[in-house]
Amino acid sequence: MATPLSADKLLKALRDEGLRVVEHRSWRTHNRNHKGPWGPVNGVMIHHTVTSGTQSSVELCYNGHSSLPGPLCHGVIAKDGSVHLVGNGRANHAGLGDDDVLRAVVDESGSLPSDNEANTDGNRHFYGFECVNLGDGKDPWPAAQLEAIEKAAAAICRAHGWSQRSVIGHKEWQPGKVDPRGFTMDSMRGRIKSRLGGKPDGPSKPPSKPKYEPFPGAAFFKAGRRSAVITAMGKRLVSEGCGRYEVGPGPSWSEADRKSYAAWQRKLGYSGAGADGIPGKESWAKLKVPNV
């Protein structure tokens, strides 16, 4: 049982373990604390995303979706081993799980009981890492990604003075869950135990923040999407003389955004379906939306 790490302490713990960490947008203040308590924390939970692609997976975990608002975890672990922080505080990742499992984690028992009940709020008690994988048993787990899972879990355990027994999979917590699929949690806990037996690898060099927002994918731009990226995009469209806003621009994707982007596409020489107002990779790169 422990007080949750602050954003600065979490970031330092991960980097001191030798991880390459990417700070995604306003992750430090992005949480679901208004929906329930965050802490005391008791462990780390590992998931798979059932998605492919780093950027789209990070966006999904940051924003969530209509039935499950983000953040959907604290960090997203990509196949290249990078860790993308998307939340700090309560996150929608664990859901209701088994109180007997929680007691075993608190006690750091040698074995976990069967997760046959869903009666305890896991979002309060666990840090969560979503790992980019389709979860079909066929999508590979690269060595760099497995090492990053090991390091991320070990970093938090080291910061709180926990052993590897404080790390569990979603499938060990909530009835009916299968994640993470493709490796065993016993094997991962063995790796974490070995790592905790030595010293951390030392701080990794923080990556330079990109100057412009990377293209989040066409599917990002849909009704109901709210993001600071959309506001920044709208401001750039206005500066290019393509704004078609009566009010704004604002953070919610709207018909005015679509019309404004269509004007930008026509300015670039696109026509027909190429000027439908939905951003594409090439037109987005030319717009140069500032990083937010």
Residue-by-residue DSSP string for 98-137: -HHHHHHHHHT-SSPPP-----EEHHHHEEEEEE----SS
Contacts of the segment 258-265: beta carbons below 8 A, 24+ positions apart: 258/221, 260/234, 261/221, 261/233, 261/237, 263/237, 264/237, 264/240
DSSP 218: G
pTM: 0.74
Q: What is the pLDDT of residue 129?
A: 99
For position 206, what pLDDT does the model report? 63
Helix and strand tally (H, E) in the chain? 9, 10
Close Cβ partners of 272 (under 8 Å, ≥ 6 residues apart): none
pLDDT band of residue 52 (cuts 50, 70, 90) is very high
Give, as one character, the DSSP assignment of residue 268. T
At 104-152, the pLDDT tens digits run 999 999 899 999 999 999 999 999 999 999 999 999 999 999 999 999 9
Query: In terms of Cα–Cα distance, which of 283, 206, 272, 187 is closest to 242?
Result: 283
| Contact by Cβ (8 Å): 179, 255 | no
Q: Is the pLDDT confidence value at 84 over 80?
A: yes
Residue-level pLDDT at 210: 72
- At residue 204, the pLDDT reads 63
Q: What is the mean pLDDT of residues 149-162?
A: 98
| Residue 248 pLDDT | 87
Question: Is 166 a residue whose pLDDT tops 70?
Answer: yes
What's residue 202's pLDDT? 84
Only one residue has tokens 């008791």, namely 42
Residue range 207-245, pLDDT digits in tens: 666 789 999 999 999 988 999 999 999 999 999 999 999
* CA angle (10, 12, 16) in 5-degree steps: 125
HSE toward the beta carbon, residue 1, CA cutoff 13 A: 4
As a residue count, the chain comes to 292
- Give the whole-angstrom CA distance, residue 8 versus residue 95: 26
Q: Residue 150's closest CA among 23, 54, 7, 19?
A: 19
Phi, psi of 200 (to 5 degrees): -65, 160
> 269 Cβ partners below 8 Å, 6+ apart?
none
Give the alpha-carbon dihedral of 281, 283, 288, 291, to 10 degrees. Answer: -40
Summarised one tens digit per residue, pLDDT across range 175-211 is: 999 999 999 999 999 999 999 999 998 886 666 667 8
- Return the H-helix or E-strand segment holding 159: helix 143-160
For residue range 247-275, list pLDDT tens digits in order: 889 999 999 999 999 999 999 999 999 99
